[in-house]
Copies of this chain bind each other. A is one copy, B any other.
């Protein structure tokens, strides 16, 4: 299991800001791929997307009614009578044209006949078939959508780094786009290590600890947009572990391990991965961080393909905080997204908290909108109880290195955790 470094120990630790700035730049976005638009939802654009055509691409009736020339209604005080010379629907394709004193009955979506510039709503007429009486003349241009009104050809519809949402997908389709160049979703492999681990559905006892972290991390990686392969539990056999991780480097864009990051004899992940090896490329640096409750992280590469690997502690609460600090931004970077960090706000702390000096603490919290604006922040169980706190949280309170305590009523930073639905 993990080394949860005691918060009181004052060894030289790396600040989270320094650590992330050195590590995250080693994660370039994955190579782009051209996807059919039907597959593109949820992916991140690798290029700016200009509109190849304008939208709408032709003039059409926006409402059900009668397509007229406004000139035929000019000077009319109350009522006009026009001959109805045809019916048009969205499926009509033959070019047709008004003559003076005539109109077409049109359904919404029907192409506008030549010479027409206005659609009179059906409700404003007697809804006649061969001829129609118009009770109320609309303004010129009423009920019509003109080619190019909404989107001009060449308009940049979205920039590189933007996620393809349902509405963006719709705008792409409406301007004639059928393919977009996006980053693939990263393939993330999750492995739990530790001879003590047993699978779900048991109760932990000495020597048999339920593997909680790999399941939680797999779900968190899915939530972050990755394709996830959970390897399950790996024994602490050095050659076996090394081989397993190098095998995965063929199919993974990122490997996550949980457990074995400590300095004890049983901390096999660290022993296997930290040493450099002339034959097999890649190595992992383990860094003691000024972060509570996740003070040890490994980062490096595995295999000749130099697949990035992140080694998290085994303790589930610490592993989840490590995921938030490093894995989630890493998944975002690989997938090409910007920004990579969650949004933060400042809020009014409801209950005093203590926090280890010299450590940046991430503590689960419940953030609520406050009447009249702003937020309130209710701290939840942190430290060794982070896991149960996280389950009830919608945010992480961030208590900086210099904060030893924060009184009720003070203003604190909180990172908002969005929820799936």
Contact = CB atoms under 8 A, between A and B. Distances in A.
A111 B314 contact: no
A9 interface: yes
A17 interface: no
A266 B90 contact: yes
10 contacts: A9-B121, A91-B194, A163-B421, A166-B320, A173-B215, A176-B203, A178-B200, A179-B201, A225-B421, A337-B421
Nearest to A120: B6
B92 A206 contact: yes
Interface of A: 1-6, 8-9, 11, 36-38, 41-42, 44, 53, 55-58, 60, 62-65, 87, 89-93, 95, 107-109, 111, 121, 123-124, 143, 145, 149-151, 157-158, 163, 165-171, 173-174, 176-179, 194-196, 200-213, 215-220, 222-225, 230, 236, 262-267, 314-316, 320, 332, 335, 337, 345, 369, 373-374, 381, 384-385, 387-388, 390-391, 393, 418-421
A215 B38 CA distance: 7
Contacts of A167: 216, 320, 387, 390-391, 393
Contact of A216 (B92, B170, B206): B170
A288 B16 CA distance: 56
A341 to B, nearest CB: 11
Contacts of A3: 63-64, 107-108
Nearest to A369: B345
B384 A145 contact: yes
Nearest to A123: B9
A6 B173 contact: no
A109 to B, nearest CB: 3
Contacts of A213: 170
A166 B219 contact: yes
Contacts of A209: 90, 109
B264 A107 contact: yes
A262 B64 contact: yes
A194 B44 CA distance: 32
A196 B266 contact: no
B204 A92 contact: no
- Among A6, A143, A168, A263, residue most surrounded by chain B Cβ atoms (within 10 Å): A6
Given A92-B206, A93-B207, 15 more contacts: A36-B200, A44-B421, A90-B266, A108-B262, A109-B209, A109-B315, A145-B384, A150-B384, A165-B219, A166-B219, A171-B387, A174-B210, A174-B316, A373-B373, A374-B374
Contacts of A37: 200-201, 215
Given A63-B3, A196-B109, A421-B224, A219 B391 contact: no
Contact of A171 (B109, B207, B236, B391): B391
A364 B255 CA distance: 40
Contacts of A230: 38
Contact of A121 (B8, B150, B206): B8
Nearest to A41: B219
Nearest to A337: B421
